[in-house]
Structure 1
């Protein structure tokens, strides 16, 4: 996978550095970096309200960040789908595509709304690739569970095709078979590039990080892919914690 150009805002990094420098210089607080902790059990929606969607739209590092900040999204996992190889691995994908599994509360966000995010987050006219990432594993796919999802996916694809008369929409619509979670080092990739944010949530273990709703949101925040309003809300929350000097972020 081609190295992704960092989209971290220099101004945000400078702001955080200045705040920490001022606070420590004036000895108003003492930032304490905690040992690894276990994330407390959260009240998640009941299973009847949870649904799962799987999409492929290029690099799964960025794709996970795109969906993580959406209100109603409970959990994100990167992995492999759309192929025939059993137990694919990053260095041995076979014919699978890099994909993102989204667990969401359908009372707060619909499959149709997820489709809108899917279409707006990549170039579905590019054949087998996205930008500098070229290859079969980067192809565009909507995976569907059942007739209604298939209908919604088909309708949305037809709509996008009318917007792109000069070129064809290359997105495939396929029934979802097996989804294979990727290796731990690929989960919450954008968040892991910001060690300070990992410290803010208590240095969660890999398995906790993968299923954490908070980590999913911060993964989007780290890549600056959250809606502007949510980006500002998280900025404010982090700055408040820095001022207090106890970097444990529990909720957003």
Structure 2
């Protein structure tokens, strides 16, 4: 479903819902459940990557099966408590919390390489600067080995240019300010209305928000993008907020 068509369908849906509210003269809130399936934090693993603007980077990973939460932030530098307007030598990064029973670090690396140009020096597309450099952050020797192997494999695809991606042991990760979390989703007011205008805390921690952030940016794998299209179409057909997950 094209983004223009999706927005038109959502607009029609929200118009009908608004009329229903007026006729019923009752308080009403559109709400989609944001709770992922039960997983303890102890069962999750984390990975951190830098691949350009963290707005897009967060959307890249949010839709993947097995990814539970994503957080935009800063890593790779020495400045304490960096901020968007004062991040020092940090890179814009994304922290990915994932279920290792469904997706592993090697698969996340594949998404990392396919989602940006690792041969561009200190930047991605029009975003140029040290904060947009390409980095794989690792936890322990095994992740460092897998990262090095994947970089070597990426380099063999073309010898005419150098893969500039750095591999660093992860130090501190600083979450970005609330306005930078799920940025692509926040650019879609109709989707925000559809899910009930989540709190800032929910935007950072919600599995649903992570998936819809990727969907809003049209960066989900095609199968997942179509599945979410179908869920939204189902809501529109029923003219009632029945969607509980994607």
Query: TM > 0.5 between the two?
Result: yes
Cα distance in 2, alignment partners of residues 30 and 198 from structure 1: 18
Does 2:162 correspond to 1:168?
Answer: yes
Unmatched 5+ stretches in structure 2: none
Q: 1:49 aligns with which of 24, 43, 62?
A: 43
Q: Which range moved further: 196-205 or 120-129?
A: 196-205
Structure 1 residue 36: Cα displacement: 8.1
Q: Which range moved further: 226-235 or 69-78?
A: 226-235
- SS of 2:72's equivalent? strand
Shift in alpha-carbon separation, 1:104–1:33, aligned structure 2, 3 A: farther
Cα distance in 2, alignment partners of residues 78 and 226 from structure 1: 17
- 1:68 corresponds in structure 2 to 62
Q: For residues 169-248 of structure 1, what are the structure 2 equivalents within 5 Å?
A: 169-247=163-241
Cα distance in 1, alignment partners of residues 202 and 9 from structure 2: 29
Shift in alpha-carbon separation, 1:228–1:38, aligned structure 2, 3 A: closer
Structure 1 residue 82: Cα displacement: 0.2
TM normalised by structure 1 equals 0.88
Does 2:77 correspond to 1:83?
Answer: yes
TM normalised by structure 2 equals 0.90
Shift in alpha-carbon separation, 1:206–1:244, aligned structure 2, 3 A: same
Structure 1 residue 44: Cα displacement: 2.7
Shift in alpha-carbon separation, 1:165–1:105, aligned structure 2, 3 A: same
Q: Could you give the per-residue CA deviations for residues 152-206 of structure 1, whole angstroms, max 9, x where no partner exists?
A: 0000000001112000000000000000000000000000011111122221110
Shift in alpha-carbon separation, 1:249–1:199, aligned structure 2, 3 A: farther
- SS of 2:161's equivalent? coil
- SS of 1:240's equivalent? helix
Preserved contact between residue 32 and residue 245 of structure 2 (Cα < 8 Å): no
Unmatched 5+ stretches in structure 1: 1-7
Does 2:94 correspond to 1:100?
Answer: yes
Cα distance in 2, alignment partners of residues 44 and 212 from structure 1: 13
Q: Which range moved further: 37-46 or 229-238?
A: 37-46
Preserved contact between residue 32 and residue 242 of structure 2 (Cα < 8 Å): no
**Count of aligned pairs between the two proteins:** 242
Preserved contact between residue 32 and residue 195 of structure 2 (Cα < 8 Å): no
Q: Could you give the per-residue CA deviations for residues 10-42 of structure 1, whole angstroms, max 9, x where no partner exists?
A: 233344446667x68xx8x66999548795654
Cα distance in 2, alignment partners of residues 99 and 20 from structure 1: 35
Task: Supply the RMSD in Å over aligned alpha carbons.
Answer: 2.4
Does 2:160 correspond to 1:141?
Answer: no
